[in-house]
Structure formats: C-alpha cells, structure tokens
A and B are shown apart, each in its own frame.
Chain A
Amino acid sequence: MSETTLPDTGTDFYQRSVAGTDEGEQQLRPRSELSAKELMREVGSVLRMSEADAAKLGDLPDDPDEDQTMIINMGPQHPSTHGVLRLMLELQGETVLRCKPIIGYLHTGMEKTGEQLTYAQGGTNVTRMDYLSPIANELAFAMATEKLLGIDGDIPERAVWIRMLMAEMSRMASHLLFMATNGMDLGAVSMMIYGWREREEVLRFFQEVTGLRMNHNYIRPGGVAADLPAGWRDGVLEILDMLPDRLDEYDTLMTGQPIWRERLQGVGVITPQEAVALGATGPILRSTGVEWDLRRDQPYMHYDEMEFDVIVGSYGDAFDRYAIRLAEIRESMRIVRQILDRMPAGDYRIQDKKVTPPPRARIDESMEALIHHFKIFTEGFKVPEGEAYVGIEGPRGEIGCYIVSDGSATPYRMHMREPSFVNIQCLPHMMRGGLVADAVAVISSVDPVLGGVDR
C-alpha cells in the first residue's frame, strides 16, 4: 500500500470520500481500484487445475521429505453433495487448502431446449431446472414472457395472489427440505425424516392444486393453469396449523443443541464483501448481514403490501444460514396468512385471446374455439421482438430469466440465472482452512441444487 499514489481522475464519489477523510495512505480507495485479490480474503482458495493435470499428479514419485499435500475427489456420487457435485480438494492432513467445484454432470442443455419450445411449452422446461423450487422458476419465466408481451400489468388480481401463495408455499417446501438434508449431512438423521415429512404435506397441497407434486408447470404466461380447487383454504390452513409446533420441535432438536452448534458455528464463514463480490444472493448474502431480499427491496406482485421481516445473520457462518432458513419458513407462513385474508375472486388467467386458450367447455360446441385451442397448443403465440430480464427472490437467491424474442412463438434465447450456479463459487472460500468434515457442513449450508447449477 505504501507505494500507492492517488489516481489523477476520480469520480465524484471518490473525491468526496477523500475530502471526508484524512488518513493518508490508508484512505478509502474507490471500488474500481480494487482487484479480486483485495476483495477476497484469499483468491488462492480456488484450485485451478484441469483434470488432465490432476491425473498426472498421480504418477509423480512420492517425496516424503517434502511437506505433502494431497488432491482428492469428493463426489460426484457422495451423498452429501446433493446430487452430482464433484469437489477436487487439496488437503494437507485433514485441512482443506484449495478446492475446485466441478459441475456439469447434470447438464442437459436446457437453455438450448428452451429455444425449441414455444412460450406455452417453456414452463415444462424451466420447472425442471431447480427442481426444489419449480414454482419460482415458472414464475420468473412467465413474468419475463409477460414483460415482452406487454401484459405484465394486466394479469388478473386473483392470478397474482395465487402466484404469491404458491411461491411462498414453494419457499416453505424448499427450506423444509433444506432442514432435512442439512440434518442428514450433519448426522441428525431424525431431522432428515422430519423435514421430508413436513415437506411432503406441502407437496400434497401442490398436488391438489396443480396435479403434480413437483414440476408443476402451473404458473403460465398470462396467469395460472387452473383455479384453486374447492377446499384449498382448508389445505393451506392445515399446513399452517401443523407447522409451528413442528418448527418448535426443530428448535428443540437442533437450534439449542450443543453438538449442532459446535458443528455449525464459525464454520464456512464468508464476509459481506466476499458475498457481494461473488454475486451470492439469498440466505448466503443475508447471513453476512447484508439486508437484501428482492421481495422487499425491488418488490414485485403484491409483496410491498405484505408484512414480513427480512431475516439477516451477523457472522456469515453455516449456523446463520441454517437459522435464516428456519426463520424464513416462519416468515413465509406469515405472508401466506395475509394472502389467505386477501385472496380476491375473479379470473385466474388473463382474458386475452392471444395467449389464453378458450375454456374446455367451449371446445365441444364451437369449431372456432377448437381451432383456437389447437393453434395455441401447437403453434403457440407470437411474442413481440425484444429482450427482458426479470429477477425474483427464489428460496436460494435471485432466480432471473432473460429472454430474447425475435417475434416468433419460440424464444430466440432463453437464459436462466440460477442462484445455485453462482452461489457454488462461494464453496472454496468458505472451506479454506477448515476440516474435511466441515466441508460437508459447508456444502449443505450453501444448499445448491444441481439441477439448477447444470441446467
């Protein structure tokens, strides 16, 4: 730092910050002057080595005199890697030095597939990406399509509220599953069963509403696929009545328990600067104390009318991320209760003949309706030229959908910004200097879904 001279040109921000301090060489430098080396505590925590190079290392003769490190593979078939994540770990004894997440085992080219499917079919594709938050994926896709169609302000009220209800229920389901897998990874096996059990209750509700437990294709451009079935309110209330006691049980079982805290507190720490620099969103960003939740900070639908808290942590460790998710289930329940009070009557999809097929009953009596229905489901509907990006708060962070339209019925380019894909870059920085055993806790606390990572 001693050699650093001030640059001649500075932005206003820089001039002001210099004027406001008089700390010589220690004064604040503008963000653009910082390099990755300064933003991150350890740029060196990422292992950058190709597989061919790694394979060659195996042929080297042993040299007992040198302080040896060892490169081992964890995954892709390891139960704690949540699917098929593979980590190349450089170890010294039991300490993790560097790490490289290797992904792509689930890559099926879904973005390419998205270019072949019409906007009406696209929902079936995106819902399978991050398979633990299918509703959020569909929502981002539908909202981006609506933005291009220019109908994003015309979606019927009931449809918007149904979307919010489903999105929050989906967040609960996803976080409940996190509770299960996090427990399983750390040896709290009963927790695994409890988490799956509660999630299943939510999925049962989804099945009543959408017909499927997962991969619903329920939220579609223009609204939702079907109205809520009779008795949906009881279904929701049953879950809302059941969950608080169960969540208290989780608290008893884990939150205050010394072993649990020992395993999580201070493990996988990440700083707010690092989280922002790495583009991490969702519970990871919030665990560092950065208050950022798109539902509150860039509100969409009716989230600005909802009363809920954005939960933040203070240490950025695995325990904070666990506690945040547990608290977010409670916040989602609060939102769902408010939605129940305000659910309006009305249409569940937009009455725009361009994007909405005629009701099933009309098809039997009208030839035109039959043709219309057939056209929408075979050719799809045309979307005006343009490009749009829509980002929403998914359970794991910002789920964004970027669509480029060339004016035809299929997207010219469809890109999903998957939070897991970006968040997974935090792993090397969180693991640096920790034990191998903690690596499992760290992966678990990031909660990556490999379907979303690889797409």
Chain B
Amino acid sequence: MSDAAALRSDHPQEVRHVARDEYLATVKTLADEGYAMCIDLTAVDYLELPGRQLPDGAEPAQRFEVVVNLLDLGNRRRLRLRVQVPDDDATLPTLFDVHPGTEAMEREVFDMFGIEFSDHPDLTRILMPEDWVGHPLRKDYEIGRIPVQFKGANA
C-alpha cells in the first residue's frame, strides 16, 4: 500500500490507521486538535483481497474498512482515518454527535455495505428503496446484467 509513499505534490495523503474501539475517541481528540470538518466517510469491502498488508502497528486486516476524511480548516491539513471492521460484527459507533454531517454518509455506507452505526439517529437506506434486500457495493453482490440477444449465445 502507498501509505509510506506520502507523495510530494499537490494532494498530500496523510493516513492513520485506527483501532475500532478507539475510533470515536480518536475522532473527538482530532476535533479538538482542529479537524473540525468531516469531509467524507465511505467504506471498502476487501472480500477479494484477504490477508492484505497493512503497515506495522495497524490492527489486523478485516473484510470491511471504513475510511474517514477529516479536514482542518485552520491549519489547512487533511487526514484520512482507516478503521477495520470485521464481517461477523459489522458495527461502528456513529460520528453524528461530533460531525452531524456524517448522517447521510453513514446512511449510505449502511445502505451499500450493511455496516451498522450504533446510536445513529436514523439508520435507514438512503439511495436504495426501503424494502431492498442486500447491500450493492459488497463484493459478493452480483452486478446486474441485461440479457443481450447475441452476446455469448451458443452458435
């Protein structure tokens, strides 16, 4: 992974791996340090890349990873937090109280990945219909196909 290679130039990539039980406390501490804005919260399903390498000191890799982008307006810095979330207990505490703007983003992650955010005020589907089954951005969720008359037909 390119963590070490925090590249020169325009968009510095500063990454910090955070353990799940320290996640909320870390975000709060960072908020005091000036990271007052949560720009983005998303997730990645690493189902197809088991045993991927994470830098030393990080928690062992799990299936899901929640990625949080924080912004410090005063000092003009950015920080990306990466949190490992296991498949069998896909929950995280919500950031709603620290950053109310994560409400929609956490709903999206819940909708697309099935990761639950405890104490979220309204953890419902946001993009898919309310009665939808499954979480589309998981890697074991089939992509839909429209049948085409000739493609791949048995000649």
Contacts and interface: CB of A to CB of B under 8 A. Distances in A.
A387 B15 CA distance: 10
B38 A279 contact: yes
A300 B10 contact: yes
Nearest to B122: A48
Nearest to B121: A48
Given A48-B121, A389-B69, A43 B100 contact: yes
B7 A279 contact: no
A35 B39 contact: no
A39 B101 CA distance: 11
Given A104-B128, A109-B136, A147-B7, A404 B44 contact: yes
Given A277-B100, A406-B48, A104 B11 contact: no
A442 interface: no
Interface string A84-110: 000000000000000000011001010
Contacts of A292: 73
B151 interface: no
Contacts of A107: 127-128
A290 B76 CA distance: 13
Interface SS of B by simple majority:
loop
Q: Give the size category of B's interface with A.
A: 35 or more
Interface size class of A (residues with CB under 8 A): 35 or more
B73 A104 contact: no
A150 B33 contact: no
A111 interface: yes
B101 A412 contact: no
B154 interface: no
A389 B13 contact: yes
Contacts of B121: 46, 48
Contact of A417 (B37, B39, B102, B128): B39
A116 interface: yes
B126 A104 contact: yes
B100 A36 contact: yes
A170 to B, nearest CB: 19
Interface stretch (A67-75, A198-206, A421-429): A421-429
Contacts of B36: 31, 276-277
Contact of B97 (A36, A109, A276, A402): A36
B29 interface: yes
A32 B29 contact: yes
A21 B105 CA distance: 37
Interface of A: 11, 13-14, 30-32, 34-36, 39-40, 43, 46, 48, 50-52, 103-104, 107, 109, 111-112, 116, 143, 147-148, 150, 152-153, 276-281, 290, 292, 297-301, 384-391, 398, 400, 402, 404, 406, 412-413, 415, 417, 421-422, 424-425, 454-455
